[in-house]
Amino acid sequence: MASSYFVFVALLSTLLSISITGSTNSDTLKIDCGRRQQQDTVLERIVNGTLANPGHWPWVVGLYTANDTFYCGGVLISSQYVLTAAHCFKDENTTGFLSVRLGSTNRTNFTVDCHQNADKSRNLERSETEARREELKDHVICMEVDDVCIPIQSNNCTDFMRDLALLKLKRPVNFTKHI
């Protein structure tokens, strides 16, 4: 059990160090891991929670099916990797029909043609007004999943230890103040 955990931690550390030390240019925003790019006040209330403003939780992603139904959640841990739960991938064919939505603040306001639009990086989130839609179009992007890695499959681990999966996105995310 300890060796499986060590292998997972070593793999995760390696992926993070590669993504963090990768090449940068002057157009790349400073990435401050675990910190919001926008410094607004946020309430920590969960029960009967409050609406999240764009940029308040920039690392949170949603996984959506081909018919644009919320499937699972995850966390963006680098420009090309998402950490999520392994139980979301019990069916090996799941990868092909999932998209990762970044920058969205409402899991029930579905994107328009997230899976069918040829330019998957520029999708709009449905909203009540066109003004809100215009405001959101630069905040929300959809990315395709390239590969799923479930590093711990040993029966010697607790269910919690085994319930980790890494998703590799088909291309790196361009970080913004909302993602």
pLDDT for 18 equals 47
Give the span between the Cα atoms of 77 and 99, in whole angstroms. Answer: 16
Those residues with Cβ within 8 angstroms of residue 150's Cβ, 6 or more apart along the chain or in another chain = 86, 89, 162, 164, 165, 166
- Main-chain phi, psi angles of 130, to 5 degrees: -65, -35
Give the span between the Cα atoms of 132 and 54, in whole angstroms. Answer: 11
Residue-wise pLDDT for 80-128, tens only, equals 999 999 888 876 666 667 889 888 877 765 544 454 443 434 344 444 4
Is 140 a residue whose pLDDT tops 70?
yes
More confident residue, 76 or 54: 76
Least confident of 36-50, 55-69, 153-167: 36-50
H runs (alpha helix) in the chain: 2-21, 130-136, 159-162
**pLDDT tier, 20 (very low <50, low <70, confident <90, very high otherwise):** very low
Report the predicted TM-score, pTM, of the whole model to 2 decimal places: 0.62
Instruction: State which fold the 2-19+56-169 domain adopts.
Output: Thrombin, subunit H (2.40.10)
Is 78 a residue whose pLDDT tops 90?
yes
CB 113 within 8 A of CB 140: no
